[in-house]
Structure 1
Amino acid sequence: MSIRGPQALASLEEAMRDIRREEDDLSRRVARSAERIAKIKESEAELFRQLAQLRLDPAVQSELDGRITAAEAKARDMLKEHARDVSKAERAMRDLDAKRTVLVERRNAAGALLEDQQRKLTALTESLSQQLATDLQFQEKKRETEELDRIAEQSRRKTEQAEQDRTEKGRPYRDDPLFMYLWNAGYGTSEYRAGNLVRYLDGLVATMVGFHKARPNYAMLNDIPLRLREHAERQEELVQEAEAELAQLQIDAVDRAGGKPLRDAIALTQTEIDAMDGDILSIEDQRDKAATALQALAEGKDPAFEAATTELATALGREDIQTLLAAARMTRTGQDDTIIAQIDEARTRLREEDAESREDRERLKILAARRRELEDIQWEFKKQRFDDPNSSFKEDRLVGDLLDQFLRGGISAASYWDQWRRSQNWTPGNEWGAGYKSTRQTRSATSSGNPLPPGGGGGFNWPDGSFGGGKPPRPPGGFGGGWGGGSTSGGGGFSRPRTGSAGTRKQGEFKTGGGF
């Protein structure tokens, strides 16, 4: 079952909300854990004070009590300040999430408006199809475009055949190390540079391998594809020029029928959507920084808090404290037993709390990395206009099992995005002009696994981007970057800009408490 572009983006947004919600929950748990650890150490300090009162003379007891009390008071003050800082950071996160939610809702409303505007423009263009079918200027331009398209396709096929010949027929030459040595040295050309002795020896080698006869053939195998490619690229440019002229005739017909206000409205709505996407990106970057700051606070990495807790731990780890505890264990009394049991219990709770906190911190880091990856995917999704109403995906598992695998670390972000790209299709538009369709577009779409957006019926886009929801222009015929286009994300990379993000991407499985 297929899924439409707007629905797909909504599913990604829902997953993003779940990630952020769980990220917030984990941050709170880690922060509370740091506070509980500090309080356990405080209670441990009080127990040692009680033990000192039982076992030490007043003078030693007073000195020990003073050290513990000072460290304890400092830790208590910093604990209060730390709690205030964490609360402040959590409020900042909530404010940013609220702002982003408002923007997403506004964007959804704009997307619905865009779909309605596109539907009206489509109805108008369909009513003009018969008119253009009898328009002599349009039909002549359509025939010219079809012919240029046919020539460009033939040029492409000849170039591909020549490149295949270069690969297959050139293999014997490339497999001959002596021939390739002379070829790379430029032997027999004005580029050859060698002394008399080397020149003499190279002449013997050339005679032995028949270089003088073989070199022109190999040069031709390499040169023909380059010349054919130059010709094919020029033919592609001619087709694009003709398509642009044909599209302009269509635009003129739409405008004469009163479609210009609709086109302008579509362009304006798309501009507003693009502006909101920029604002969403900015808020996401702010939130990423705030999340990093909150994570540091939650982990107790605030310098003052860390210093205070370290000082208390140091005070409790002094040799005289440990000696006191060891002596109490060796000569236990009824009162000693109770205090020592409480100290042991506190230390057990401390170890358990610390272990759980370490696990939560690791999960939080991975979850933050997954959130950034999903932000990257959403950015590419919107950049490619995959959320357009005319966009659809034939694989609904992308918002089901595959999304779950990605969130759990079963597949990488690059692999997950590539499956989105390969599953995507554009809904066929109005085939104006008796069904003209670019054969190069069909080829490029098929070979890249990423069907390109339909134009106003001719298999191309309106030059000003205002028809069809402002979908991205198709790549120019596959030349220059290899036939058939390929991934716009650079083999799995993402183009989303990040302003000072501290995040890094991590792979691997992870478990969280909220269904991921």
Structure 2
Amino acid sequence: MITGLETLRFIENAYAEAREEEMRIGAALSEASQRAAKLRRDRLTQLNALAQVKFELIRGGELVEDLDAAEKQAKAALDQINRNLEDASRRRDASAEALRKAEAEKDDRARDDEAAALALQNFEHDVAARLGEDAKWRDLNERIASLQETLAQAQRKASQAEADRERKKIPYEEDPLFMYLWSRKFGEPDYKASALVRYIDGLVAKLVDFKTARGNYQLLNDIPGRLQAHAHEIAATLQTEQRRMSLLLQSRIEEAGGAALQQKAREKREALEASEAARAAAARAFEEANRQYYLLIGRNNEGAFAEAVTMMRENDERDEVLTLFREAERTKTEKDQRIVETIDALTKALGKTEADISQLRTMLDAAAAKRTEIERARAEFQRRRYDYPGTTFRNESAIGDVIGGILKGALAGAVLGQILRQGYQRPPLPPWGETIDPGPFFPPGGAFGGAPDDEFTTGGGF
């Protein structure tokens, strides 16, 4: 057995774990991107050195000048990117730390809220145990019970009348002569027609006994509305009596000294809501800092590093460079042999690093998807008010297994919703049920998880 608050904490811990994993992979991708960019720059440096050795083979000194300019441009670009990346990394780390603090603060406020709410619940149960001796309470309770039964009967009658109307109106509406006269409002004060048409319509009316049929059809249409109006009147009376009971209950709670507990419960709930709002703001700030960070490291083959690498790759792929390299390979001298070997080693290291980058990007997408899944599951959990004090889940082990599966990328958040529905146990109802305003402890009627077959989904899997 696990409480709703403990379950939410479990989900939030999984979210934090997924976030930390995403940040670790992002940092690794940043390092790999920096390494790849440096390898390309070093390769460009070596090509420049090689060109200086063999410049007489390729258009005199023009290639040397081009490569030297490209090397300087690459160095300036990478230096600027690294400075920007340092700033972005600091902002992301700071926003992540702020989010961790906001989550811890929200967790503390949630514990305070639960403690205050459960204390109030116990107090209200004690008050309720003594209400049976209160004559005014008994009278109200009996009247409300009677009104509820009357309302249920009125609603059943209204529903039956609606069904009867849909079934019994068919013969009328399939009779073209009757519907012709009905649509022309024959026999009503606002019926208008020439003398000849009136005469002909009168003959038709006698033929189909329109007067009798019209009364029956009108009554058939009117009865459901009348019954619904009657049900609404009863419901309004019931609500009035429930408000009276709520006021009576509140007065008895205050007489018993419960006002301070109610005030404390309200204050703790307000503090929790404020801390949740702060956590949400911190989460948005982290998302933005994370997005800016990704713009630099190039999560999807884009970003500042990708632009710098593209610039250097274009130099690598120039015809003159390829010719230079082939010539150096063909006619190695002692002077250029070491340069060629260095370029070979840099090229191999670059290939391995770019393979690492591709793998890290895939891992980063999976980590971000897991974090998104868990965050959506968390939002849905709170939307259904599963974290309300007194809520419990009887399948703690299954919940843990599913959350573990989401963290491994094997399950989607929708599965968590199914497991939560299966194990959900609503808070114990107060002795007076949900027929009156329950005060600060209980959510409004019907807020305990929705209908049994409601879908709990986070919008897909991965």
TM-score, reference length from structure 1: 0.71
Task: Name which of structure 1's ranges 84-93 and 418-427 shifts more when overlaid on structure 2.
Answer: 418-427
State the 1:376 CA deviation.
Answer: 2.1
For 1:124 and 1:357, the matched residues in 2 are separated by 59
For 1:428 and 1:83, the matched residues in 2 are separated by 53
AA matched with 2:64 = S
For residue 389 of structure 2, what is the aligned residue in structure 1?
389
Larger Rg: 2
For residue 442 of structure 1, what is the aligned residue in structure 2?
none
AA matched with 1:92 = A
Change (3 A) 1:491 1:388: closer
For residue 238 of structure 1, what is the aligned residue in structure 2?
237
For residue 348 of structure 1, what is the aligned residue in structure 2?
351
State the 1:165 CA deviation.
Answer: 4.3
Task: Please state if 1:376 is matched with 2:379.
Answer: yes
For 1:100 and 1:368, the matched residues in 2 are separated by 17
For residue 26 of structure 1, what is the aligned residue in structure 2?
25
Residue segments in structure 1 that go unaligned for 5+ positions in a row: 432-456, 477-483, 494-504, 510-516
Change (3 A) 1:252 1:84: same
Correspondence for 1:474 among 445, 457, 460 = 445
For residue 191 of structure 2, what is the aligned residue in structure 1?
none
Q: Are the aligned partners of 1:397 and 1:403 in contact in 2 as well (CA < 8 Å)?
A: no
Identical amino acids, percent of aligned pairs? 20
For residues 10-39 of structure 1, give each alpha carbon's deviation from its aligned partner in whole angstroms, at most 9, with x where no partner exists.
Answer: 222222222222222222122222212212
State the 1:345 CA deviation.
Answer: 1.0
State the 1:416 CA deviation.
Answer: 4.6
For residues 152-186 of structure 1, give each alpha carbon's deviation from its aligned partner in whole angstroms, at most 9, with x where no partner exists.
Answer: 1112222333444456x379679x9x779x97998
AA matched with 2:91 = A
For residues 224-243 of structure 1, give each alpha carbon's deviation from its aligned partner in whole angstroms, at most 9, with x where no partner exists.
Answer: 44443333233223222212
Change (3 A) 1:340 1:66: closer
Q: Are the aligned partners of 2:165 and 2:221 in contact in 1 as well (CA < 8 Å)?
A: yes
Secondary structure of 2:370 counterpart: helix
Secondary structure of 1:400 counterpart: helix
For residue 459 of structure 1, what is the aligned residue in structure 2?
434
Which of the pair is proportionally richer in helix? Answer: 2
Q: Are the aligned partners of 1:86 and 1:298 in contact in 2 as well (CA < 8 Å)?
A: no
For residues 55-110 of structure 1, give each alpha carbon's deviation from its aligned partner in whole angstroms, at most 9, with x where no partner exists.
Answer: 33272453244133223322331343144124313322333223213312421341
Change (3 A) 1:362 1:270: closer
For residues 314-334 of structure 1, give each alpha carbon's deviation from its aligned partner in whole angstroms, at most 9, with x where no partner exists.
Answer: 322323223323444566678
Task: Name which of structure 1's ranges 252-261 and 153-162 shifts more when overlaid on structure 2.
Answer: 153-162
Change (3 A) 1:65 1:297: closer
For 1:341 and 1:171, the matched residues in 2 are separated by 89
Q: Following superposition of structure 1 onto structure 2, how do residues 45-194 of structure 1 map, counting pairs within 5 Å? A: 45-57=44-56, 59-60=61-62, 62-115=64-117, 117-118=119-120, 120-122=122-124, 124-125=126-127, 129-130=129-130, 132-165=131-164, 169=167, 187-189=183-185
Q: What is the aligned residue count?
A: 440
Task: Please state if 1:362 is matched with 2:362.
Answer: no
Change (3 A) 1:88 1:219: farther
For residues 418-461 of structure 1, give each alpha carbon's deviation from its aligned partner in whole angstroms, at most 9, with x where no partner exists.
Answer: 76467543333442xxxxxxxxxxxxxxxxxxxxxxxxx23335
Q: Are the aligned partners of 1:30 and 1:360 in contact in 2 as well (CA < 8 Å)?
A: no
For residues 260-286 of structure 1, give each alpha carbon's deviation from its aligned partner in whole angstroms, at most 9, with x where no partner exists.
Answer: 222222222222222222222222222
Change (3 A) 1:229 1:389: same
For 2:213 and 2:312, the matched residues in 1 are separated by 84
For residue 267 of structure 2, what is the aligned residue in structure 1?
268
Task: Please state if 1:11 is matched with 2:13.
Answer: no
State the 1:148 CA deviation.
Answer: 0.4
Q: Are the aligned partners of 2:102 and 2:282 in contact in 1 as well (CA < 8 Å)?
A: yes
AA matched with 1:360 = M
State the 1:151 CA deviation.
Answer: 0.4
For 1:76 and 1:133, the matched residues in 2 are separated by 79
Q: Are the aligned partners of 2:34 and 2:305 in contact in 1 as well (CA < 8 Å)?
A: no
AA matched with 1:281 = A
Secondary structure of 2:392 counterpart: strand
AA matched with 1:462 = D
- Root-mean-square deviation (CA, aligned residues, Å) is 4.4
Q: Following superposition of structure 1 onto structure 2, how do residues 277-356 of structure 1 map, counting pairs within 5 Å? A: 277-299=276-298, 307-328=307-328, 335=337, 338-339=341-342, 341-356=344-359
Change (3 A) 1:214 1:44: farther
For residue 228 of structure 1, what is the aligned residue in structure 2?
227
Task: Name which of structure 1's ranges 107-116 and 258-267 shifts more when overlaid on structure 2.
Answer: 107-116
TM-score, reference length from structure 2: 0.78
Q: Are the aligned partners of 2:169 and 2:220 in contact in 1 as well (CA < 8 Å)?
A: no
